[in-house]
Structure 1
Amino acid sequence: MSAVKSGVRRLLGRAGFDIVRSTDSRGGVDDFIPFEATIRAAQAAGLSVGDYIDEIMNGTPGTTQSTIEELRALDVFTADPKTVLEVGPGSGRYLEKTLKECSPGRYEIYETAQPWANYLVDTFGVVSQPTAGSSLAPTPDGSVDLVQAHKVFNTVTFLCASRYFFEMARVTRPGGRIVFDVMTETCLGPATVRTWATQGGTGHDSYPAAMPRRTCVDLFETLDCSLEASFLAQMGVASTEVLVFRKKP
């Protein structure tokens, strides 16, 4: 197990995110969570895959749960969403904990890494939708109560994230919520930028990706979605900002 743990730590030591590489991957993401090795190591450690990633691979126990608890306090789950859609669930660590908070009749995922997508379908009974660029085309307009993405939009290009934003607003029903995290200026003070530059690894073309907070808020306002709340969540050597929007009734 130590060899497996050492290998995955090298792969993800600087990242702290849950995106995975596949032949359909876009946006320059070159780090990944190896499917078979991660499953075996989690089983050997007696942990769920999500908890294994938090505690062993990322070395930050409880980070996923803390985000879920913040969302619970904001009544995101007590609104009893009947349909949930998640962009880029990766290994499913947020998906797993979301399903412990609510019981949607339908949970759609858009995941480019086929081994992980198959695992999530088999383990949690979710619906894996075909992925194409930044489109959520298989999902009808106004059909989803909760749309979420975690540790995704700080790993892709600005335009890729922006295109997803339009799609997320399109599929959300009036009164529904949209939850995602981005690396805003709130997360990027001078000391943090220095840490990323000197201790965060070499990075790659799209990670870590910054996104202006005002850009997000103003864009979603034009899409009839208002910002309800925000909070910081740990990622890698720093943090991202989780934004919670509600689509106007």
Structure 2
Amino acid sequence: MSALAAARGGMNRVLRPFGVQMVRGRSDDPAIQPFLSARRTLTAARRADLSIEDYIDRRSAVPGATVETVNALFRLADSREKMQRICEIGAGSGRYAARVIVSEHPDTYEIYETAGDWLPRLRSLPNVVLQPADGHTLSATPTGSVDLVHAHKVFVYLPLVVTIGYLDEMARVVRPGGIVAFDVVNEDCLDDEMTRNWVSSRATLYCMISRSWLLGHLAQRGLSLLGGHFVPLSGGRTELLVFRKA
């Protein structure tokens, strides 16, 4: 067994209680390796007679977590204008994308996704444009061009420097008056139960970011916080933060 295979096996033993696994990606960059295998996840969902959304919610969060997150996003955004152009980072299985598309019926839904095995499913969603993803930027999206740019269960796994780069890119591509939304693990997410779960499971895959620093960093880029909403995460919770561009 190679050192890489052994390392991947060790990580999967840590991930197993959370119902996810690491699989081979198209890059050696740890920031863009996929965690969920499309083939295995789709097969398991079919066997369980569940939609992808419901299957992943039940395995890695709580039933209904996806729709709750999308509803919270639009409630906090309180936008009365049609969102014609939307961009999502790390759409993965497409469970959030499908919900947002049904809600907003955008003319264009841009997706940056590095996990090649999920691309056929994402391509089947209405009005989707798959952008070339490098795992760090939104380089194919013009400045000030989207009404909503969002990411879910992405920044909780990425190194801080990658997350900061993506946040700056989100601030760049959103139009004035547009919405930026994403979830992170910050200090307000932690409680005794969550930390006990992480320590006992040795869950080293999660990354934290300071809420106060984050708000200050994005305020300098013209983003004002509209509100936050806690959403389930395997073994704990994240905070969905929703901003408007000045």
TM-score when normalising by structure 1: 0.85
Shift of 1:129: 0.7
SS of corresponding position for 2:139: coil
4+ residue segments displaced more than 3 Å: 9-21, 25-31, 75-79
Q: Is the 8 A contact 1:142 1:174 kept in 2?
A: yes
Q: Which moved more, 1:87-96 or 1:32-41?
A: 32-41
Q: Is the 8 A contact 2:85 2:147 kept in 1?
A: yes
Q: Which moved more, 1:10-19 or 1:163-172?
A: 10-19
Query: What is the 5 A alignment of 1:99-114?
Result: 99-114=101-116
Q: Which ranges in structure 2 are unaligned for 5 or more consecutive residues?
A: 1-11
- 1:23 corresponds to which residue? 26
Shift of 1:196: 1.1
Choose the corresponding residue for 2:73, options 59, 71, 74.
71
Looking at structure 1, the residues matched to 38 and 87 of structure 2 have their Cα atoms a distance apart, in angstroms, of 22
Q: Which moved more, 1:46-55 or 1:233-242?
A: 46-55
What does the per-residue CA deviation read over 1:137-175, in whole Å, with 9 as the maximum and x for residues that have no partner? Answer: 110000000000000001010101000011010000000
Write the letter of the residue equivalent to 1:108: E
Looking at structure 2, the residues matched to 53 and 76 of structure 1 have their Cα atoms a distance apart, in angstroms, of 27
In structure 2, relative to structure 1, the CA distance for the partners of 1:28 and 1:104 (3 Å cut) is closer
Choose the corresponding residue for 2:56, options 53, 57, 63.
53
In structure 2, relative to structure 1, the CA distance for the partners of 1:52 and 1:135 (3 Å cut) is same
Shift of 1:194: 2.7
- 2:244 corresponds to which residue? 246
Shift of 1:72: 3.0
Q: Which moved more, 1:35-44 or 1:151-160?
A: 35-44
Query: What is the 5 A alignment of 1:84-95?
Result: 84-95=86-97
Shift of 1:31: 6.8
1:236 matched to 2:238: no
RMSD: 2.5
- 1:180 corresponds to which residue? 182
What does the per-residue CA deviation read over 1:44-75, in whole Å, with 9 as the maximum and x for residues that have no partner? Answer: 333221222112x2262111111122123224
- 1:36 corresponds to which residue? 39
Write the letter of the residue equivalent to 1:106: T
- 2:151 corresponds to which residue? 149
SS of corresponding position for 2:124: helix
Write the letter of the residue equivalent to 1:132: D
Looking at structure 1, the residues matched to 168 and 156 of structure 2 have their Cα atoms a distance apart, in angstroms, of 17
TM-score when normalising by structure 2: 0.86
What does the per-residue CA deviation read over 1:33-53, in whole Å, with 9 as the maximum and x for residues that have no partner? Answer: 111122222233332212221
Q: Which moved more, 1:141-150 or 1:64-73?
A: 64-73
- 1:6 corresponds to which residue? none
Looking at structure 2, the residues matched to 124 and 45 of structure 1 have their Cα atoms a distance apart, in angstroms, of 26
- 2:4 corresponds to which residue? none
Looking at structure 1, the residues matched to 71 and 32 of structure 2 have their Cα atoms a distance apart, in angstroms, of 28
Looking at structure 2, the residues matched to 81 and 170 of structure 1 have their Cα atoms a distance apart, in angstroms, of 17
- Identity rate, percent: 37
Looking at structure 2, the residues matched to 182 and 17 of structure 1 have their Cα atoms a distance apart, in angstroms, of 18
In structure 2, relative to structure 1, the CA distance for the partners of 1:13 and 1:58 (3 Å cut) is farther
Looking at structure 1, the residues matched to 85 and 198 of structure 2 have their Cα atoms a distance apart, in angstroms, of 37
Q: Which ranges in structure 1 are unaligned for 5 or more consecutive residues?
A: 1-8
Q: Is the 8 A contact 1:141 1:171 kept in 2?
A: yes
SS of corresponding position for 1:74: helix
Looking at structure 1, the residues matched to 125 and 56 of structure 2 have their Cα atoms a distance apart, in angstroms, of 17
Q: Tell me how many residue pairs correspond in the alignment.
A: 235
